[in-house]
A and B are shown apart, each in its own frame.
Chain A
Amino acid sequence: MLMLKCPNCGVTAEETEFAPGGEAHLKRYTAGSEDQAFSDYLFARKNPRGVHFERWRHAFGCGKWFHVARCTATLEVFGTYSAQTSTPPDNIIAAVKAKRPDWEGFK
């Protein structure tokens, strides 16, 4: 069971305080968009063995959403950061690179 630090209220708490929200940084496709793009937005999700970016909500705490950069294989947490960003910030990218030099980068 994971321990995560909520960047909004600063609490490091166990997983039971949080609710998972799936893959982070999805781009929303709306009215008029291409069928394939919309279908991918709805249904296609990354499932990497390794570095992954996720959304979590501090459901039993401050109620705020945030992002987590995590390794799905080892459960290592590289960092947590604001939900109000559409790509991982530089410091998170650097933190991942430092631990996973072979990581191909955020795509």
Chain B
Amino acid sequence: MSNAVSILNGATFNGAVKITEAGLRGMITLRGDLSSAQLKAAVSAAVGLDIPAQRKVDHGPMGGVAWMSPDEVLLLVEYDKADAITADISNALTGEHHMVVNVSDARAVFLVAGKGSREVLAKGAPVDLSPDAFGIGDIRRSRIGQLVAAFWMTEDETFELVCFRSVGAFMFDWLSTAAREGSLPEYL
């Protein structure tokens, strides 16, 4: 898949906080009965992880899994493996009502890294982003300004943020504006 390109080819912005377009990421939407043993097994086989609790995200050597809604998880895998894993899960869930779709190409992913990254997001997300309210392992689906987005933390002061690909350029501009030098509230 050498001719596959991400929305901004890894563009970066260095401000008070660093914004990076993360390149192609494998993402698989899996809808079904999250309590089913068959589904749990399929997810475990795919990413080596259990189904996370409500609004939690988990990462491991094989990938990640995020709780999206009571009947949906998002699997985070290598881009090139997404089609194969989607097919594997589909096979594994034969006979059980489910839906599994490779949505990797429909998304843009950004890294928001550095001290103040919480504040960059808090300029657009109506979410309590203080350390006692949001930390590693949490995922939040909300909005950033006018855009639908989901985000989680991978380490201290580093967020991964996902939005639709068609607005990836707008999101990058938004984040870069919010992250420019000298603009952080220094509150959180």
Contact = CB atoms under 8 A, between A and B. Distances in A.
Interface of A: 8-11, 13-14, 16-17, 60-64
Interface residues of B, number: 12
Contacts of A63: 69
Contacts of A61: 141-142
A106 to B, nearest CB: 25
Q: Is the interface of B mostly helix, strand, loop or mixed?
A: strand
B68 interface: yes
Nearest to A1: B126
Contact of A13 (B54, B126, B148): B126
Interface of B: 54-55, 68-70, 126-127, 140-143, 148
Given A60-B142, A60-B143, A60-B148, A16 B126 contact: yes
Question: What 7 A-B pairs come out closest when comparing CB atoms?
Answer: A62-B69, A60-B143, A61-B141, A14-B126, A10-B54, A8-B70, A60-B142
A62 B68 contact: yes
Nearest to A3: B126
A67 to B, nearest CB: 15
Given A9-B54, A10-B54, A11-B55, A64 B70 contact: yes
